[in-house]
Amino acid sequence: MPTSFGKRARTRQKFSKAFRRHGMPAVSRLLVIHKKGDYVDIVCDPSIQKGMPYSYYHGRTGIVFNVTQRAVGVEVNKVVGNRVIKKRIHVRLEHVRKSRCNEQFLRRVKENDAAHHEAHLKGESIKTKRQVEGPKPGCFVSGPMEVLEPAPFVESY
């Protein structure tokens, strides 16, 4: 039974790199520009120990609230008891990547803005609210009729 409770205790699988993905990260990982309000995923890179967050935050998504030279401040929701607390942690850039969680939302906002602009030029009003898909249309099932009968019972002894 393990007895120590260090910062990296019981993280053998969590902080391990994939097969043939060992070694230092690419320089492009550090050149990504993060701004306040961006969504980021915290993914710990085990090859760099400096600025590594606690194992709980590995795989979590948060919002950038502070940007420094080598690190970003990330606000992450954490469930403690029966409430949700916003935790603020600083993580080095090696352990952070841009999140794609609101990519679809941002694309929809751009499309809606373009549609509103075109409608405004024409002097029309447009509704951009998404509609529920609704049930599938009815159809008739056609084909040859099959009569189902139970197989005859045959004694085998």
pLDDT of 86: 98
The answer to the question of residue 119 being in a domain is no
The owner of tokens 């205790």 is: 9
Domain carrying residue 67: 27-98
Q: Is residue 128 part of a domain?
A: no
Separation between Cα atoms, residue 45 and residue 48, nearest integer Å: 6
Is the residue at 59 inside a domain? yes
CATH of the domain at 42: 2.30.30.70
In a domain, 63, yes or no: yes
Nearest to 57 by CA among 32, 21, 87, 29: 87
Question: Is 58 a domain residue?
Answer: yes
pLDDT tens digit at each of 157 positions of the chain: 678 899 999 999 999 999 999 999 999 999 999 999 999 999 999 999 999 999 999 999 999 999 999 999 999 999 999 999 999 999 999 999 999 999 999 999 999 999 999 999 999 999 999 999 999 999 998 889 889 999 999 998 8
Q: How many distinct structural domains can be found in the chain? A: 1
Structural domain contains residue 138: no
